[in-house]
Chain A
C-alpha cells in the first residue's frame, strides 16, 4: 500500500507522535509504555490491527508492535514501522504474547527493574482493548521487578486535538459516505425500495462506498446501521444493525453509513419517509431537522456537552417534542478504535464523557442526535413507531463547527 509522503494531505507524522509519548513518559518516570488499545495501535502505527495487538514503546527509539502472527506481515506492510518492529506472537514456546513481549520489555529495563505504563480501564465500546485482568497478572508475574501503572491518559491527551492529516482522512471518509447515501437514494427513489430489506440497503451503500475506496464499514454495530418502521424509534435507542425486515410504504427509513479511509472514519445518518407520509410523520420530521440545524449552529469551542444538551433540550421542550429525545448530542471519534468517550477520563463517572468537558478548536467529534418515538408511546398508533438519527463528524472551531459529511440535511419523502 502506498504510504503518504510529507507533501501528501493525508500525511501523519507518526515518528513525532512516538517522540511526544516518550517525552511524556520521561516526565512521568515511565521506562516502557505497553499499549494494548485499538485506538493506541491505530494512532501510532497507522495500520489497522484487528487481532489482539500490543505496542512496546521504549524510552528512546522505535516502538515494536506484536500482533497475532497470521497478520504481522500485513500490518508491517501497512505501517510506517518496518518488519523488525512489527512482530508476530503465536502459541509456541517463547512466542506466546506474554513471553515474547515481556522478554522485550525486560531488555528496556535496567536490571529488569522499572516502571511500565499500561492501558487499564473500561469502556462501552467492546473492541476498546484495555489490558485484561489475566494479561495484567501474567505481565506482572513475568516482570516481577517492575511496577505496572495505568498510563493510557498520555495517549488520550495527545490524540485529542487532530492534526491536518487526520482531519483530511476523515474528510475523505465522509465524502465516501456521502457517495453511499447517493447510491441508496438512487436505489430507493420512485418506489425502488419496494421488495428491499434493511440488509439490502446496507449492501447497496457498502458496494458504492467500497467502489469509492472505503476499507471497512468500521463499526462493531453490524457495519451500516439500517432501520425501518418501528425500529427507527426504539425507546432510548441509537443502535440498529440491519435486519431482514422488508421496507414498507408509510414507514420511516434510517440509513446510518460507515466508511473508513486510512483509519479515518466516516459516520453519517440520513433519514427518509417512505411515502405516503402522514401529517404526524411530517411533524416529527420537521422537529428533527430543526433540532439538527440548531445543534450544528451551536457547536463551537468553549461549550460543553452538558451546556449544549441543556440548550437543545430546552428547545425541544418549547417545541413540544422533548419526550422523544435521547438526551445526548455527541460521541467521541478518532482513528479506528477511538469511539465513544469525548476528551479525557476526567468526569464524574470513570471512562465516560465528562459532561463539563470544554471543547477546544481542533477536536473532532460525532454530532449525534437520536429522535425516537416508540410504537407504544401512543398506544398502537401506526403514525408513531418513528425515529430519526443524525450523525456526522464535526470539526470544532473557535466560532462554529465544520460538518465533514456534506450530504444535504433533510428527511426526504420517497
Chain B
C-alpha cells in the first residue's frame, strides 16, 4: 500500500522538498530568487502554521514548517487550512480561491502575477504527494 504523509508534517515537508527539487528545473522555476509563505489558519489541531519557501536562482533552497505567526517573506498567502487542503486535493483552483477572497495575498501584485505559473507548477508537484489531510 502506498505510503501517505500527514499534511504539513515533517515527513510531508521533506517529501515535498525532495519532489520540488527533483521535478522542477531552475528553468521551469524561471530562475526565481524569492521567498514565499503559505500561512494556514485553523489547522486540525487548532494551531496556525506556515510553510516557508526560499528560492535561489530557481532552486528550492529551503522548505520548512513554522508554527504560529508567519515569518517575513516577499509573498505571503494566507487562508484557512481547509482552503489549502481543497486546493491540494484539486477541489478548488488557487486562482479561484484568491479571486473569491478565500485566500489573501500580501506582496507586490505585479511580481506575483509574473510568478503565478511557477506557483502553479509547484502546486502540481505538491498535489502529487500522497497526503492525509
Query: Smallest distance from the beta carbon of B103 to chain A beta carbons, Å?
Result: 5
- Complex A-B, nearest 5 residue pairs according to Cβ-Cβ distance, in ascending order: A94-B104, A93-B104, A88-B109, A93-B101, A92-B98
New contact pairs (5) apart from A76-B110, A87-B108, A88-B109, CB-CB < 8 Å: A69-B113, A72-B110, A84-B108, A94-B106, A103-B106
Confirm or deny: B102 has a beta carbon within 8 angstroms of a beta carbon on chain A.
yes
Distance of A87 Cα from B100 Cα, bound (Å): 21
B103: A residues at CB distance < 8 A:
93-94
Confirm or deny: A243 has a beta carbon within 8 angstroms of a beta carbon on chain B.
no
Closest Cβ neighbor of A90 among chain B residues: B109
Which residues of chain A have a CB within 8 Å of any CB of chain B?
69, 72-73, 76, 83-84, 87-95, 99-100, 103
Q: CB distance A72 to B104 under 8 Å? A: no
Distance of A76 Cα from B97 Cα, bound (Å): 28
Confirm or deny: B1 has a beta carbon within 8 angstroms of a beta carbon on chain A.
no
Q: State which of A87, A93, A99, A103 has its C-beta within 8 Å of the C-beta of B110.
A: A87
Q: CB distance B99 to A88 under 8 Å? A: no
Query: Smallest distance from the beta carbon of A391 to chain B beta carbons, Å?
Result: 39
Q: CB distance B109 to A95 under 8 Å? A: yes
- Restricting to B71-114, which residues have a CB under 8 Å from any CB of A? 78-79, 97-106, 108-111, 113
Query: Smallest distance from the beta carbon of B44 to chain A beta carbons, Å?
Result: 22
Q: Assuming A84-B108, A87-B108, A103-B106, is B113 touching A93 (CB within 8 A)?
A: no
Q: List 13 A-B contacts (CB under 8 A).
A: A72-B109, A72-B110, A76-B110, A83-B111, A87-B109, A88-B113, A91-B99, A92-B109, A93-B79, A93-B101, A94-B103, A94-B106, A103-B106
Distance of A94 Cα from B113 Cα, bound (Å): 14
Distance of A105 Cα from B108 Cα, bound (Å): 15
Q: Assuming A92-B99, A93-B79, A93-B98, is B110 touching A73 (CB within 8 A)?
A: yes
A89: B residues at CB distance < 8 A:
109
B102: A residues at CB distance < 8 A:
93
B101: A residues at CB distance < 8 A:
92-93
A87: B residues at CB distance < 8 A:
108-110
Query: Smallest distance from the beta carbon of B1 to chain A beta carbons, Å?
Result: 38
Distance of A72 Cα from B103 Cα, bound (Å): 22
